[in-house]
Chains A and B, each alone.
Chain A
Amino acid sequence: MLKVCRRLTPVAAVVLAMASPSAQRDDTHGRDAVPDYERVFNQDSVGRLEIRMASSDWEAVVADMDSMAGRFGGAGGFGMPQPGPGGGGQFPTPSTEAIAACGGRTEGDACSFGTPAVSGRCVQTGNASPLTCVGLPAGGGPGGNPGGGANPGGGFGGNNGQRDDVELLPRTPIYVPVDLTFDGETFHHVGFRLKGNSSLVSTWQRGAEKVPFRLNIDALEERYPEVVNQTFFGFQNLGFSNNILDSSYLRAKVVTDLMRESGLPAPRTAFMRVYLDRGAGLTYLGLYTMIEIPDEPMLDTAFGSSAGNLYKPHGTGGRWTVFVADDFPKRTNDADQDWTDVEDAIAALNDPTSDREVWRRRLEARVDVGVFLRWLALNTLVGNNDAYGGLSAHNYYLYGSPRHRDRLFWIPWDHDLAIPSATGGLGGGGPVGGGGGGQTAALDLFHTRIGADWPLIRRLLDDPVYRATYRGYLEELLNSVLEPARVNADVRAEYDRIVPYVVGASGEAPERSFAGTAAQFEAAAVGPAGVAATLQSRTTAARAALSSTR
């Protein structure tokens, strides 16, 4: 025994010394951290996020934006109309010329209006508002879609997976390093940049410090090698919406939650109080809606694997009439240069339907049709026009799930303009919401006004089997997640949760707030024409429309 031990001891001692668990592992910051949804996306309380940034970095952010969009607070400096009364009295009022310039176009299309002509892009600037031509100094980002959405070859400046979709700005705002503190943990050198298009432009124009932003936790790892592969409790990317276009602050969260509750692969959301220190102490910026950016944690959770292709479509290709590779920028596997899944799916969708069974079988092998129809049903019921079939061909992701034979799944995105209400905006709206502008009497539940330029809707709803499935989803949703008492309770609960952080002593400073007065905020959320009431009236109208439609 002694001899055996003597032979083993040197090896054992060295190995024991070297094989101790690595100090690099970290369950909150490390790349192997399990996404902590309960902690980050806590639904029972409103979290507090502190951001600390050097004043010089904030100045760099301002200089960068000034160079693209004009002076901070320079209202109208890039063609935007002046703020005027709207929901909560906060939304800019577009001119009739600017609205007319976007007639028949979709979001992101190039446009011009006025004399002398101002060039810009069509953008939805408020809840339930029509598309408005928003002018920019350089006419917006490169590579526009000059002939409108139906023009082939349109795009938004090529395949740049990091850009926002409707390129009002000529380039992506810069990243600057910030330190984050959340729930007792601090994260250093996190990448912070402004994000958004109409929301960012509107905020910038007004000079409101409550800017929409995005955190990319390891974006600056080359500059700060010590944060290589850093995550925020397992998350790499988080978006923070300032809700400038929604004076109730509820739409993005309530509707996205409805999507998830109805079984759709939608991102998580949570309200977050954001404090910013630019060298002079913490200031309460305001209440934000934090949104999970679809990437590894979400894909792993929803689909069991994040190894598939994730796309953020836009432009002509985003309509699915023809395949345009540039209109399907990849957010994963971007080096592979492989779009065969999308190409196959679009081809299958547009195949002849002479043998419907074969057509359906081929399509269902490539696209999860059930998920799309379920999304379409819910999106219609909540009246979200800023979506496929409405005013934009870009507010969705597609994921080719390896665990589902590479079938493409529809991931809904961006719901802050849903639930069109009188207090929320300016009326109007496109067809996908089944009638917008708070007009619920003429709900077009089956999208009879949508043509062949939105083939995912037209071709699917022209098929009797899919039409019946879609109808079934409408009925199911109306009797489940959209059941009136439940919706009212949910909206009320969310309102009660956030109201102390929006208005009142602990609320937002008026110069940063988009909610208006306490009365206006309450009216927008739970008033007779607020989110809850509007949703309820829409579901009531939908039930009536459903009973009168076969």
Chain B
Amino acid sequence: MTGLTSFRARAAWPLPLLLLLAVSRPVAAQSTQEESARQTPVFEVAPRGYVQFDWRGYPEWPIEPGGGRLQFDTFEIRRARIGVDGRWRRLSFEVAVDPQDVDDDTVLKDAYGQFRFSRALRLRVGQFKLPGGREYLTSARTIDFVERSAQSSSADAGRDVGGMLNGEIGKRFEYQVGLFAGDGRGRASRAGVTTAGRLTWAPVKDLEIGTSSSVGRTSAHDSDPANGLDGRMPSGYRFFDRLYVQGRRQRFGIDATFTPGAWTIAAEGLRTSDQRLEQGLDFEDLPSVVATGWSAAANHRFGRRRGGARVRAREIDLGLRFDWLSFDDSAAATGRDSVRLRATDVRQRSAGTLTAGVSWQPTRWGRILGNASLERYGDARSAPEPGKSGPYITLATRFQIELP
């Protein structure tokens, strides 16, 4: 988001909130009337919202936080999500806006309706997240760490306008499959019409395995900025700039979650390839650029009582995560690798982050997260301090207020 756009967005964002307050009255009134008339509510609407205040420290980083290269500032409102969701008979809906979230350059986040034909078949239409990886589909309100892992935030799809069928098949399978206008409305890397799907399987108790895929087409225009994926680490540092891509964009991901007792163990991998048809200097096809990433995380909730009443203030989550993301072209190295936006031999750049985190939610409306991360870069020339591959330390604290 450009500075000007960002400013406008920030200045304008209370408007949806006021609108929400205004429209809530008849909706609530309607709900109350129906409740009194039938005693069984057929129309429900509830406000949803949360705000995340982030403080970050970058000890000994040589670049200025909050600029283009290091995305996050030392203090910022990371998200200010506000919206409503509701239900009427078999129809459910959700609308949410967020002028602060930089993950998508669009204030409108979710705006969709979903009709439930049966447990196995639901139709969702509007703007919402494309089927993708587990962590990406997890709400930013409930993620275990301050930021999602690198492959999830950099290489996975975003929200877009489209239609999707989803449902449960038996007790062990869930599916999502949809057709969308793109793979990330508002993103500079947005592809054209994209199909995406996800299948999850729960073979045994506490274990869920998922796989996801999407296929779309990108189109590069010389006069526009580059339209490929960029690579950012959880610190917000961009180590890989967008390239010009054209042709098929394909994602394939796999993830698994194991939740025995107080533990949550999750692993995820994602491979995204972008064709670069006619992108050579002589309009020749270039090798595809491939983003490969994976992450593994373990979380443990301490203070959890079995059977007795839950005491939130005594529960605390500790977690550890490693994530890694790499960009390269699909052809063999030539010895003339380059960082240019139409390089034939794309210089391989990679980075990994080890993050330790703590999360504490003493009340239903407040949550505190703390993360300490170490980052290391595979190509020292693309590191925050050129020539020094790492480690780079990031400290992050989040205070989250949410509607209970």
Contacts and interface: CB of A to CB of B under 8 A. Distances in A.
A404 B341 CA distance: 11
A7 B28 CA distance: 13
B293 to A, nearest CB: 22
A7 B47 contact: yes
Contacts of A19: 10, 13-14, 77, 80, 99-100
Contacts of B21: 4-5, 8
Contacts of B64: 228-229
B281 A365 contact: yes
Given A11-B50, A340-B343, A406-B342, A32 B403 contact: no
Interface in A272-310: 304-305, 307-309
Contacts of B10: 19-21
A4 B17 contact: no
Contacts of B50: 11
A362 B284 CA distance: 12
A18 B339 contact: no
B381 A32 contact: no
A485 interface: no
Interface of A: 1, 3-5, 7-8, 10-12, 14-16, 18-21, 25, 31-32, 228-229, 304-305, 307-309, 333, 335-338, 340-341, 343-344, 361-362, 365-366, 400, 402-407
Contacts of B403: 7-8, 11
A545 B260 CA distance: 90
Given A7-B403, A402-B226, A1 B25 contact: yes
Contact of A1 (B29, B224, B365): B29
A344 B281 CA distance: 10
A338 B7 CA distance: 35
Contacts of A337: 381
A21 B25 CA distance: 30
Nearest to A9: B21
The 3 A-B residue pairs with the shortest CB-CB distance in the complex, in nearest-first order = A335-B386, A32-B3, A365-B281
10 contacts: A7-B404, A11-B51, A16-B17, A18-B51, A19-B10, A21-B7, A31-B67, A336-B382, A403-B225, A406-B342
Nearest to A25: B7
Contacts of B281: 344, 365-366, 405-407
**Most chain-B Cβ atoms within 10 A of its Cβ — which of A4, A307, A309?**
A4
Interface string B365-396: 10000000000000001100011000000000
B49 interface: yes
A14 B340 contact: no
B60 interface: no
Interface in B223-242: 223-226, 241
Nearest to B13: A19
A1 B226 contact: no
B37 interface: no
A14 B80 CA distance: 10
Given A11-B403, A307-B241, A335-B381, A406 B340 contact: yes
A3 B403 CA distance: 12
A25 B14 CA distance: 20
A65 to B, nearest CB: 30
Given A15-B80, A340-B343, A4 B28 contact: yes
A514 to B, nearest CB: 41
Contact of B49 (A11, A228, A309): A11
Contact of B282 (A12, A15, A20, A365): A365
Contacts, number: 115
B4 to A, nearest CB: 8
A336 B222 contact: no
A404 B222 contact: yes
Contact of A4 (B47, B241, B244): B47
Given A1-B28, A403-B222, A341 B401 contact: no
Contact of A400 (B11, B282, B340): B340
Interface in B269-293: 281-283
B347 A10 contact: no
B347 A338 contact: yes
Given A1-B28, A11-B401, A405-B342, A18 B53 contact: yes
Interface in B26-68: 28-29, 47, 49-51, 53, 64, 67
A405 B381 CA distance: 23
Contacts of A14: 51, 401
Contact of B47 (A8, A16, A407): A8
A366 B21 CA distance: 57
B247 to A, nearest CB: 16
A394 B217 CA distance: 44
Contacts of A15: 14, 17, 51, 77, 80, 82
Nearest to B403: A7
Nearest to A333: B339
Contact of A340 (B224, B226, B336): B336
Contacts of A335: 381-382, 386-387
A8 B49 contact: yes
A10 B401 contact: yes
Nearest to A20: B10
A7 B341 CA distance: 49
Contact of A12 (B17, B53, B340): B17
Nearest to A348: B281
Given A11-B50, A11-B51, A338-B347, 11 more contacts: A4-B24, A10-B365, A11-B402, A15-B14, A15-B77, A32-B3, A338-B338, A405-B342, A406-B341, A406-B342, A407-B281
Contacts of A305: 225
A226 to B, nearest CB: 13
A7 B14 CA distance: 16
B340 A340 contact: yes
Contacts of B82: 11, 15
A21 B339 CA distance: 36
Contact of A307 (B29, B282, B341, B402): B341
Contacts of B244: 402
Interface in B84-117: 99-100
A18 B14 CA distance: 11
A338 B386 CA distance: 13
A371 to B, nearest CB: 16
Contacts of A365: 281-283
Contacts of A18: 51, 53, 77
Contacts of B3: 25, 32
A462 B20 CA distance: 71
Contact of A304 (B4, B11, B223, B341): B223
Nearest to B18: A12
A11 to B, nearest CB: 5
A210 to B, nearest CB: 36
A405 B4 CA distance: 27
A361 B29 CA distance: 71
A32 B225 CA distance: 19
B341 A1 contact: no
B390 to A, nearest CB: 15
B24 A1 contact: yes
A307 B230 CA distance: 14
Contacts of B100: 19
B222 A405 contact: yes
B81 to A, nearest CB: 10
A1 B49 CA distance: 17
A399 B223 CA distance: 16
A18 B399 CA distance: 13
A403 B339 CA distance: 15
Interface string B1-16: 0011001001101100
Contacts of A3: 28
Contact of A402 (B13, B338, B341): B341
**Most chain-B Cβ atoms within 10 A of its Cβ — which of A16, A305, A340, A362?**
A340
B17 to A, nearest CB: 6
